[in-house]
Chains A and B, each alone.
Chain A
């Protein structure tokens, strides 16, 4: 069976759908320049569960659940559902934590970096340059023989765990479950966490994007990595389509506001915007996918990717509990220390986890 989404045209169409979808989700209520942000939305989920108590960023984001479940359905349908795991799970868990810390110092994942650019936020340029620089370091490590080792096939039922968790989270959202008075599930009444599209629109958008991304292998990190590593421009054409179509939609919907100061859910500390995304980019390369791609892989039954995604949710809790996550006011007290620690961790992993190069 020919997979039309894996063609050049296919990846461009998928990038365009994500770009248009993100701009529309903003229009329907999601936060500005954050139609879709995998890192931010996982952070909101961590908050909704009470893993952190930053009361402006707590909401069970249906887009995340849609991504996993859409990819799960598409993989089942295409015969690509293959439970697998066992490739350095603990390292991937920590890569997920540090990827999230870096992303929250910048305030966005690679998707949101593009969406911030498409909305006119100049600070995102620093984030994008940092992301590419981190990926560049990761490519050097790959060329040096970096590997987290092989994964192995797992039993069929094990790949259901992560999708089942997503169904559970979705039900908690739909039925507005409260476990204790004043306790979780939390839902922000102010701030970005309170801004969201209607549940039905969010989940449908998530399912469609999840299914399309599974078929097309859309990955923002992979896009830049493949350009640097093997001069392959396949994935980056999808990323470019996302940027262009989000930009055009923003112009059309009056959501384009160019500048550096006063951009929504962003700060102007150039150095830490750059280094935060350097850390995130490096961690994504070592783990083999951007945060979105990790969710789609989780849906296919990749339990190593699911562990990375879980690490990101836990990382978000640390980021807000330990004064690491930035805010529009600027970088937090322990943000820089966390980024430096993360960079050291990634470099140590990058240099120590190597297969012998058989030349």
Chain B
């Protein structure tokens, strides 16, 4: 199954978290989240960790890609 993409670039706090939370609540465990700032990276990572998943972070130009992974 391919990862579900969540593009949070340009969205102000807390919308990145809201979108990711909704995707997790909808049963998607395999997410690929695009964020464009450190605050969103921290907040989204913290949420994913609290939901019992791990995060895998990589940089793509100005964007940060957060992938969820099984803990």
> A residues engaging B (CB < 8 A)?
3, 6, 78, 80, 82, 84, 87, 142-143, 147-148, 150-153, 217, 222, 225-226, 229-230, 232, 234, 288-289, 304, 357, 359
Cβ–Cβ < 8 Å partners of A357 in chain B: 22
Cβ–Cβ < 8 Å partners of B22 in chain A: 357, 359
Contact in complex: B21, A230 (CB < 8 Å): yes
Smallest CB separation, A243 vs chain B (Å): 22
Smallest CB separation, A235 vs chain B (Å): 10
Cβ–Cβ < 8 Å partners of B46 in chain A: 232, 234
Cβ–Cβ < 8 Å partners of A289 in chain B: 13
17 interchain pairs, CB-CB under 8 A: A80-B37, A82-B36, A82-B37, A84-B10, A87-B12, A150-B9, A151-B11, A222-B13, A226-B14, A229-B14, A229-B18, A229-B21, A230-B21, A232-B46, A232-B50, A357-B22, A359-B22
Closest 3 pairs between A and B when the two form their complex, measured CB to CB: A150-B10, A288-B12, A151-B10
Contact in complex: B15, A87 (CB < 8 Å): no
Smallest CB separation, B16 vs chain A (Å): 11
Over the window 20-43 of chain B, the binary record of Cβ atoms lying under 8 Å from chain A Cβ atoms (1 yes, 0 no) is 011000100000000011110010
Q: Does chain A have a CB within 8 A of B69?
A: no
Contact in complex: B13, A142 (CB < 8 Å): no
Q: Does chain A have a CB within 8 A of B55?
A: no
Given contacts A82-B37, A142-B18, A143-B18, contact A232 B47 (CB under 8 A): yes
Q: How large is the interface on B (under 10, 10 to 19, 20 to 34, 35 or more residues)?
A: 20 to 34
Q: Does chain A have a CB within 8 A of B65?
A: no
In Å, the complex CA distance between A148 and B18 comes to 14
Q: Does chain A have a CB within 8 A of B66?
A: no
Smallest CB separation, A4 vs chain B (Å): 12
Smallest CB separation, B56 vs chain A (Å): 17
Cβ–Cβ < 8 Å partners of A150 in chain B: 9-11
In Å, the complex CA distance between A225 and B43 comes to 13
> B residues engaging A (CB < 8 A)?
9-15, 17-18, 21-22, 26, 36-39, 42, 46-47, 50, 62
Given contacts A80-B38, A82-B37, A232-B47, contact A148 B14 (CB under 8 A): no
Residue of B nearest to A214 (CB): B39
Given contacts A142-B18, A217-B39, A357-B22, contact A230 B12 (CB under 8 A): no
Smallest CB separation, B64 vs chain A (Å): 12
Cβ–Cβ < 8 Å partners of A359 in chain B: 22, 26
In Å, the complex CA distance between A323 and B15 comes to 36
Contact in complex: B42, A288 (CB < 8 Å): no
Contact of B14 among A3, A82, A84, A225 (CB under 8 A): A225
Cβ–Cβ < 8 Å partners of A87 in chain B: 10, 12
In Å, the complex CA distance between A82 and B10 comes to 11
Smallest CB separation, A224 vs chain B (Å): 12
Given contacts A147-B11, A152-B10, contact A230 B17 (CB under 8 A): yes
In Å, the complex CA distance between A148 and B13 comes to 11
Contact in complex: A142, B9 (CB < 8 Å): no
Residue of B nearest to A88 (CB): B12
Which of A151, A229, A230, A234 has the most chain B CB within a 10 Å cutoff? A230
Cβ–Cβ < 8 Å partners of B14 in chain A: 142, 222, 225-226, 229, 288
Assuming A142-B18, A143-B18, A151-B12, what are 19 further A-B pairs, CB within 8 angstroms? A3-B38, A3-B42, A84-B10, A87-B12, A142-B14, A147-B11, A147-B15, A150-B9, A150-B11, A152-B10, A153-B62, A229-B17, A229-B18, A230-B21, A230-B47, A232-B47, A232-B50, A288-B14, A289-B13
Cβ–Cβ < 8 Å partners of B12 in chain A: 87, 148, 151, 288, 304
In Å, the complex CA distance between A82 and B42 comes to 16
In Å, the complex CA distance between A150 and B12 comes to 7
In Å, the complex CA distance between A289 and B13 comes to 8
